[in-house]
Amino acid sequence: MRVTVCQLPNDQDEMESAWQKLLHHTRSKCSDFVLLPEMPFSPWLAASNKVSPADWKKSVKRHEEWLERCREFAPATVVTTCPVIAGGKRLNRAFVVCAREAPKVVHEKYYLPNEPGFREADWYDRGNGSFESFDACGIRAGVMICTDLWFFEHARAYGRAGIHLLLVPRATPYDTVDKWMTGGRAAAVVSGAYCLSSNLYNPPGEGANLGGLGFIIDPDGGVMEATAPDNPFSTVEIDLQRAERAKKTYPRYVQE
């Protein structure tokens, strides 16, 4: 199975070009699965401490349009996150898109930071607190949106549910890219799954502080691939059976 991660520009004037390049990459690499960053289809709203419900609605509409375009990656499966308005709440939801199927909600972001550049707790509401694994096109996966990653009890529970892929779409800054790589390696180890992460990117000093670095990490914490500004897409072949075998090895087999 071939999986792809990426760093996508948060400059929306560059999105169409980046999208076409990513499509070409995934087709040339025969990718089966593509992970996109956190809320990639509009400017990063939480960079501002001035909350605008109108801007949230604009972002919702734009993401709805682009979510449908995720079918362009078929037959590959795609996961990304989108802002939504549901039950009177503003939420950050993860969706899985399989060929010929309607996009399906698979997670809502629960842990929300609130600091300069990432005023998420001001902009939107906590999700429902559910961390349930899901099946998509023969893959068993779990999603932890950005800050969710740091609550490793959920990665451990996903591992017990037998996931192959732990998916971490992100919007994170330059000065923490090493920290996120460390978190991804730890989450892979405790879950016994491949940890995939994709991030938003702006060049230094241009727009919101979004530092890129997507990565693919094996079930024992080894970094298989990582993106960079001059290499924004990475695809590797993984062995789903390795993730299944990992559940029976240290430290996954140790009872709590």
Residues spanned by the domain of 138: 2-246
Q: Measuring CA to CA, how many Å separate 23 from each of 31, 66, 127, 139? A: 10, 14, 31, 21
Encoding tokens for residue 176?
């923490």
Query: What is the number of domains present in the chain?
Result: 1
CA-closest candidate to residue 232, choices 203, 209, 255: 203
In a domain, 120, yes or no: yes
pLDDT tens across the length of the chain (256 residues): 999 999 999 999 999 999 999 999 999 999 999 999 999 999 999 999 999 999 999 999 999 999 999 999 999 999 999 999 999 999 999 999 997 788 999 999 999 999 999 999 999 999 999 999 999 888 999 999 999 999 999 999 999 999 999 999 999 999 999 999 999 999 999 999 999 999 999 999 999 999 999 999 999 999 999 999 999 999 999 999 999 999 999 999 998 8
In a domain, 255, yes or no: no
Please report, for the domain that includes residue 111, its CATH number: 3.60.110.10
221: Cβ–Cβ under 8 A, 6 or more apart, which residues? Answer: 185, 186, 188, 189
In a domain, 227, yes or no: yes
